[in-house]
Structure 1
Amino acid sequence: MLYYARTETLRMLRNRRYLIFVVAFPVLLYLINANIYGEQTDAGGVSYAVILMVSMAAYGGLASSMMSSAVPWATERQSGWLRQLQITPLPGWAIIVTKLATALLLVLPSLLLVSVVAIVQQGVSMPPARWAGLLLAMWLGTIPFIALGLAIGSALSPDAAQPAAMICMFALAIAGGLWFPPEIFGTTMKAVAEVTPSYHYAALGWSVAGGHGLGLADVLVVAAWGVVLGLAAAFLYRRATVRA
């Protein structure tokens, strides 16, 4: 199981699309926006350098979760690799758990790199306990998006899974306010944002970074989405396995 996890991790780290869209792109967006708005503060006195750091780290976590689960899962299913794994001594639950653990591991580079750039380039500073709480919340908060990626990979072919994952990724990033504040699109868009997992995922980070701790409503919404999408992923995986 550990060897399988190591193999999966190395395979993704060799993927150029992963390195560009998941690791480099959030950092680039942060540098552009932080150099323009970084010195401003919001109504609560929190620097936009911190707010943008959380937003771009959240985007990186979202993108990493889906890119490292949807397309690889669909490719393995179509190529027959998943079928080969199922006839090895690995139990079925171990395959799913390894995929989840690998995706969680691959989230860390984007979260850490954006944070390091924020410290070095914008001078962002927080107490160590707050940094730890922020990174832990944003790391575990990616579980619903990993589940969504696995659901897409179980339901669609590789050719269809890639655009579907990217559309979902960009839609969640925009609707969740990771690129633009939802308020600028009006009350309807704000209402849509408030039911998305991406908005509450980022809100967890914004709240912790602002020194307010974890918002209970945000935790509950992210957890609820994790359960719903996890059940959907399990159902679609089971259906794909039975058909195979």
Structure 2
Amino acid sequence: MSGLIRTHTRFQLLETSRTPIAIIGSAIWPAASMLAFVVPYAGDDPHFANATTASMLTFAVMSTNLFQYGVGVADDRVQPWDPYVRTLAAGALPRFAGRLLAGLALMAVALLPVVLISAFLTAASLSPARFLLAALAITFIAVPFILMGLAIGYSMPPKAAVVVAQVLFLPLAFGGGLMSAPGWAPGFVETVGPYLPTGGAVRLMWAAVGEAPIRPVSVVSLITWTAALAGVAWWAYRRDEGRRFS
């Protein structure tokens, strides 16, 4: 099984690398947002820089996974190769695991410029323990957005998936408070933010970098969204399988 997972992961990475703009594009948008919204305002305040960097990292996690899986999976489904692979005896697990690992690798590429900009152009500073905790938090918060992307990709054709991903993108980012630091968002964002997947994710990141306490409501919200999106993604996959292969 591990060999099949490695094969599918390598295939996904090779396929993506054949379109370099897909990799470059996933890294440019978070980096540009960092340069536009964090560097000019973070100044020499390490706490503000830490918090806003955590916000931009969450922003990058959401955008990368939403489009990587939402649009990518929808596009794969209309290619002749996808129906063939789904008829093989290996089953769905190696394909899902391979897509997940490849997506995490591409997400790391998108996050790297944000980390470098924060390290060299702001006063952000983390201890090794906090850095490791933030890395673990990133892995955790990526899960609901991966599932959201899979739900979109397996339930919609490519043109619809692009529109839905774009429509969800900005409201989730703004409503969750990704455009600000703790306590800086408008009042209604502070009210509804913890109940959105983006709000739960960014508040966990703020806690990981030591700039806000852990809020139980955000953690519960994030876990609830993860479970719900897992159900929707599984339903979309089985629905697509029943329509195309029954």
Q: Report the TM-score, using the length of structure 2 for normalisation.
A: 0.87
Pair 173,120 (structure 1): closer, same or farther in 2 beyond 3 Å: same
Q: Distance in 2 between matches of 1:122 and 1:186?
A: 27
**How far apart are 1:15 and its partner, in Å?**
4.5
Native 8 Å contact 2:176 2:199 kept in 1? yes
Q: Percent of pairs identical after alignment?
A: 23
Native 8 Å contact 2:151 2:232 kept in 1? yes
Q: Distance in 1 between matches of 2:106 and 2:139?
A: 10
Q: Which residue of 1 aligns with 2:65?
A: 65
- Matched residue of 1:79: which SS? coil
Native 8 Å contact 2:7 2:98 kept in 1? no
Pair 113,213 (structure 1): closer, same or farther in 2 beyond 3 Å: farther
Q: Which residue of 2 aligns with 1:82?
A: 82
Alignment of structure 1 residues 139-150 onto 2, 5 Å: 139-150=139-150
- Matched residue of 1:27: which SS? helix
Q: Which residue of 2 aligns with 1:3?
A: 7
Native 8 Å contact 2:51 2:211 kept in 1? no
Pair 218,105 (structure 1): closer, same or farther in 2 beyond 3 Å: farther
Q: Which residue of 1 aligns with 2:24?
A: 19
**How far apart are 1:241 and its partner, in Å?**
0.6
Alignment of structure 1 residues 37-186 onto 2, 5 Å: 37-39=41-43, 47-180=47-180, 184-186=185-187
**1:69-106, Cα deviation, whole Å (9 max, x unpaired):** 11121112122432111122321222222222222222
- Matched residue of 2:82: which SS? helix
Q: Distance in 2 between matches of 1:214 and 1:180?
A: 17
**How far apart are 1:166 and its partner, in Å?**
1.8
Q: What amino acid sits opposite 2:112 in the alignment?
A: L
Q: Which residue of 1 aligns with 2:38?
A: 34
**How far apart are 1:149 and its partner, in Å?**
0.6
Native 8 Å contact 2:58 2:178 kept in 1? yes
**1:217-244, Cα deviation, whole Å (9 max, x unpaired):** 4333222211110110001110011100
- Matched residue of 2:88: which SS? coil
Native 8 Å contact 1:104 1:143 kept in 2? no
Q: Which residue of 2 aligns with 1:198?
A: 198
Pair 85,11 (structure 1): closer, same or farther in 2 beyond 3 Å: same
Where structure 1 has 5 or more consecutive residues not aligned to the other structure, the ranges are none
**How far apart are 1:38 and its partner, in Å?**
0.8
Q: Distance in 2 between matches of 1:119 and 1:186?
A: 31
Q: Report the TM-score, using the length of structure 1 for normalisation.
A: 0.88
Pair 111,212 (structure 1): closer, same or farther in 2 beyond 3 Å: same
Q: Distance in 2 between matches of 1:15 and 1:243?
A: 33
Q: Which residue of 1 aligns with 2:224?
A: 224
**How far apart are 1:135 and its partner, in Å?**
1.5
Where structure 2 has 5 or more consecutive residues not aligned to the other structure, the ranges are none
**1:153-181, Cα deviation, whole Å (9 max, x unpaired):** 11110111111112212221111111246
**1:15-71, Cα deviation, whole Å (9 max, x unpaired):** 424422x31121122122233221375xxxx62211111111111111111111111
- Matched residue of 1:47: which SS? helix
Q: Distance in 1 between matches of 2:57 and 2:207?
A: 14
Q: Distance in 2 between matches of 1:214 and 1:192?
A: 17
Please, which moves more after superposition, 94-103 or 130-139?
A: 94-103
Please, which moves more after superposition, 138-147 or 79-88?
A: 79-88
Q: Distance in 2 between matches of 1:79 and 1:3?
A: 19
The number of aligned residues is: 238
Q: Distance in 2 between matches of 1:215 and 1:193?
A: 12
